[in-house]
Amino acid sequence: MAQREYRPGSKADFDRLYQETYPRIFRTLATMLGDPAAAEDCAQDAYLKAFRAWPRWKTDAPAEAWIHRIALNTAFSIIRSRRLREVGELIRRLGRPVEADPVNQVLGSELLREIRRLPGKQAAVLVLRHLHGYTNREIAAALGEPESTVASRLMTAKRTLRARLGDSFSDGLDTSATLSVSSAE
């Protein structure tokens, strides 16, 4: 992704950043959270946090990577909250089987279900790399992690997906491939 010129604190530049990045941010969050409404709420929260911090944004990192990092951290918080709620519900329901979530039954995509089962940081690098086509270097900048950590998480995520999905999917996860995910899911 080409870095655009932005000025910290400029409302016009933030509006342009929003227009240019929102579709990718939303797709990333929808893939991670599995719910378009939750992804919309998460994106709104992320952009609000980013707008409040916009005057303090440091130009040494790409603005696109910066906003992705804020959005991903917001999604990780939502995922943690969900898991805590699920544990609480499980404790309250001890003895009764947990019913399947009807949303997951409608999704139908085995790949998306397996991506959502990955640890959040592995899912994030996989989505950014294969859904949005970012390089490992760009992902590292977005997450504030070393490039080697991104490569390791990507390799672990692919290995996990291959183990779960079998050899029939292994060809779809080479480093040059991009995942194709319809917006309806």
The domain that holds 157 is classified in CATH as 1.20.140.160
Distances (CA, A) of 180 to 77, 151, 177: 26, 21, 9
- Helix-helix angle 147-165:110-117, to 10 degrees: 130
Report yes or no on 1 lying in a domain: no
Instruction: Flag whether pLDDT at 181 surpasses 90.
Output: no
CA distance 165 to 177: 17
Q: Which amino acid is at 36?
A: P
CA distance 142 to 67: 8
Report yes or no on 6 lying in a domain: no
Q: What token pair was written down for 26? A: 């939303």
Report yes or no on 41 lying in a domain: yes
Burial of 66 (0-12, 13-18, 19+ CB in 10 A): buried
- Residue 183 C-alpha from the chain's centroid: 15
Report yes or no on 184 lying in a domain: no
| Predicted confidence band of residue 147 (pLDDT cuts 50, 70, 90) | very high
pTM for this entry: 0.53
Report yes or no on 89 lying in a domain: yes
Helix, strand, coil share of the chain (percent; to 5): 70, 0, 30
Q: What token pair was written down for 127? A: 């989505």
Position of tokens 């139908």?
108
Domain that holds residue 159: 11-173
What mean pLDDT do residues 1-20 have?
Answer: 83
Report yes or no on 54 lying in a domain: yes
Report yes or no on 182 lying in a domain: no
Into how many domains does the chain fold?
1
- Helix-helix angle 63-92:36-53, to 10 degrees: 130
pLDDT tens for each residue of 12-40: 999 999 999 999 999 999 998 988 999 99
What average pLDDT is seen over the chain? 79
What mean pLDDT do residues 174-181 have?
Answer: 44
Q: What token pair was written down for 37? A: 């409404």
Report yes or no on 111 lying in a domain: yes
pLDDT tens for each residue of 96-122: 445 555 544 433 477 788 888 889 888
Closest CA to 181 of 135, 127, 138: 127
